[in-house]
Amino acid sequence: MMAQYLALREEAGDCLLFYRMGDFFELFFEDAQKAAAILDISLTSRGEHAGAPIPMCGVPVHSAEGYLARLIRAGCRVAIAEQTESPAEAKKRGGSKALVARDIVRFVTAGTLTEEALLEPRRANVLAAVCELRGSIGLAACDISTGRMELEECAADQVSAALARVGASELVVPEVWEGTPDGAIGRPSRDFASETGEASLKAIHGVGTLDGFGMFSRAMLAAAGGLIAYLDHVGRGKLPLLLPPEVRSSGTALAMDEATRASLEILQSSQGGRKGSLIDAVDRCVTGAGARQLADDLSAPLTDRIAIAERLELVAWLYEDALLREDLRGALRALPDIGRALGRVVAGRGSPRDLGQLRDGLSGGRRLHERLGRKGELPALLARLMPAMAGHGALVDLFSRALVSAPPTERGQGGYIAEGYDASLDELRKTAGNARRAIAALEAKYRDETGVAALKIKHNNVLGYFVEVPQRHADKLLLPESGFTHRQTMAGAMRFNALALHEEASRIAEAGAHSLAAEEAHFEELIGTAVAARNAIAATAAALARIDVAAGQAERAAESGWSRPDIVEEPCLEIEGGRHPVVEAALAAQRERFVANDCRLSPQDRLWLIGGPNMGGKSTFLRQNALIVLLAQAGGFVPAQAAKIGLVDRLFSRVGASDNLARGRSTFMVEMVETAAILAQATERSFVILDEVGRGTSTYDGLALAWAVAEAVHETNRCRCLFATHYHELARLAETCDALSLHHVRAREWKGELVLLHELGEGPADRSYGLAVARLAGVPAKVVSRAKAVLDKLEKGRAQTGGLAAGLGDLPLFAAAEAAREEACDTLRERLKDVDVDALSPREALELLYELKRETAAD
């Protein structure tokens, strides 16, 4: 056995090996030690290897999914080695000592899960593959639990942004790729051949050309090849559900880099969970499929004005009809997740319950179609979704006749095919039922004949049916003329066989086996029917999810008085009474009111410089406007009294302090990297929020950087931008930047206490209120008092020299660097004027030359 295990262990590679032994999956050696620590189960031993006990632990097969979930969450991958023959078959093949054959039937990995117990209902589980081909990056992503597949091509510097949008649970790359991200799984480079990817997609979908699905680049096809090869590997030749691939073209979605997504906390908060994120505050979907679709919408908001308008039209239609919305949401809530049920069916892991879910979900979709069809003229998007819900009549009828009302999860015991569907199956069941009644009659007969009232006919998996009597009555059955044959002696009881009992048992076993075989045959036929209709079923699942998203968006809008945004082409951002959805929800939970604020950006007033105290609400104001843009272009209502939004192509957020020590980046370095990305990529149609640029370095460096960045955004990028700063000296930029206006978050000091009003006011901030905030934060009074004294001295010095920003307003754009060079040259000239060349020795002249060279290199 251990030789068989070691061979399978080598085949499992870096995966833990679940080795099936009867009713348990066993793990040995290092696998056992690692799994026992993660699962907190007992570590035992079995036999010896190389003179040492073999560590061992195990988990029951019937509850293995829970243990698998914990191992996957811990970052493990698991190979499942099942028995591929029964003990009887092994004995027939090789005698009584023959080892049952085993083989790895599947690899369980984070990105290839389909089991209901291993997946989060409201979160997609994405597997992605990335490769480089002739300078272009191909990305293939799929959620095999529903079959959705996307292909994309992007530039090398956009890979991290694309992967952040996808949010893959597992990433596959060529094993020799230099750009391999941390945690990615390397696979043979030959898998990432565009010809192989194209051929695989054609074979999967039974087509001679992929033109009907879209135009795919060679890089996209290469990535698809790597992804499909990996799925074939982990499924041991059994591919999961893969729907026709969709092309994600550059520019069709609002672009956001990884830093922006993290800053805006779209799908998860800064603490890492869903609570406190945007989706947590917005999601009112009643189905898991709807929640997953909403997450996808928020991850990739649209840039097509017509498509956005269609989503908004459907939300508005449901918003205006509260009774219809409530009725619709009630019907959707009762529907099963047919997308994931279909995924399990196609992957070969389906159960009778999954078929029942398909029946109930498709039937519910047909009822919704009939109900909505009576509403007259429908919104354009809903009208396009309706046909997907209307079909499947024959399939629903078949499954309704074939399956019991509540099919079981396991099919090994039968009982899921409905009575009346198959007359021969009904007859087999009747035979088995009659035989059981015959067993009961036989037991009564044996009691009468033997006079042993305690006689019972029992059954177990080893002996089958047998007669059992207490030891004190066994003599009567041991007599030769009794008709009973001794089988087993137990403590206090004896067991016997009898000819009539054997005949009835044989009839039961035969009828039961034929019954199970008949049900299994029907199950496979039903599975085949579902697989053949997989694309149409998936379309129904997608339609129901989209309706759920629209109804949920309408419900959320009705809860808090959100409004329908007006999406226009001109680059503007006019928000009246805007609020931050997450902060407002948190304050509402504490029975506090959120202070709404307006925002009005236009081509003539596109850069707002916002000052005021820390904790005054600058960051909240910046983020709420970014989130309003995101929600609007995702096709939902927004938390504002009114909103007019010019389409945004890219959204950037540089808010908050963070570091990346693993990559050797300090907080200030991360800030500068993110700022550099904004300055390099933002266009005139972009929207940028910047908060406290330059605060991670010295005051003079920070002010200079903030000044230059603001100028660049105004003059070069020319995008809509909200720029919050604690450098109130930057207010002088308004003198030279005609599209810049000054604003501040209002605050007051009352009887020595700082009162934060969280309101946005016109004009510059009069001061920073830093000491007041420090006092509010609990800094000791002596420290604050000392800081006040130091501040007074600094301000006196600044008044004498003209201030920290003196002279900056006279510099044209980026002239500061040239001025610095001129200043260095002037210094050098003055230094050389004082040098008496004739008085220098050769050594002193050489040392002076080296010194001047060092100084100029430093400048």
Strand partners, 574: 600, 644
**φ, ψ of residue 731 in degrees (nearest 5):** -55, -25
Classify 28 as helix, strand or coil: strand
**Binding-site entries:** 612-619
- Amino acid letter, residue 297: D
Distance CA 145, CA 344 (A): 7
Q: What is the DSSP annotation of 239-293?
A: ----PPPEEE-TTSB-EE-HHHHHHHTSSS-TTSSSTTSHHHHH---SSHHHHHH
Distance CA 372, CA 377 (A): 10
**What's the order of all strands across the beta sheet hosting 642-646?**
566-568, 642-646, 573-578, 597-601
- Asked whether the CA dihedral 786, 787, 790, 791 is positive or negative, the reply is negative
Length of the chain: 859
DSSP symbol at 302 = B
Distance CA 66, CA 48 (A): 30
Q: Which residue from 635, 656, 654, 655 is spatially nearest to 645, judged by alpha carbons? A: 635
- Amino acid letter, residue 479: L
Distance CA 672, CA 664 (A): 14
Q: Is residue 639 within 8 Å of residue 578, measured between CB atoms?
A: yes
**Binding-site entries for ATP:** 612-619
**Tokens coding 7:** 């061979």
Q: Is residue 628 within 8 Å of residue 584, measured between CB atoms?
A: no
DSSP symbol at 236 = T
Q: Which residue from 644, 641, 639, 618 is spatially nearest to 628, judged by alpha carbons? A: 639
Helical H runs in 321-422? Answer: 322-333, 338-346, 352-373, 380-390, 393-402
Q: For 18, left (φ over 0), alpha (ψ -120 to 50), or beta?
A: beta
Distance CA 812, CA 362 (A): 67
Distance CA 643, CA 687 (A): 15
- Give the Å distances, CA to CA, from 608 to 388, 426, 794: 47, 78, 28
Residues 6+ apart with CB under 8 A from 135: 156
Pairing status of strand 687-691 against strand 650-654: parallel
Distance CA 568, CA 442 (A): 85
- Give the Å distances, CA to CA, from 366 to 389, 390, 856: 5, 5, 79
Q: What angle do CA 473, 458, 498 make, to 5 degrees?
A: 65
Q: Is residue 410 within 8 Å of residue 476, measured between CB atoms?
A: no
Strand partners, 754: 749
Distance CA 589, CA 271 (A): 19
Distance CA 427, CA 437 (A): 15
Q: Is residue 654 within 8 Å of residue 259, measured between CB atoms?
A: yes
Strand partners, 143: 148
Classify 30 as helix, strand or coil: helix
Q: Is residue 844 within 8 Å of residue 769, measured between CB atoms?
A: no
- Give the Å distances, CA to CA, from 535 to 499, 524, 736: 56, 19, 60
The alpha carbons of the chain give a radius of gyration, in whole angstroms, of: 36
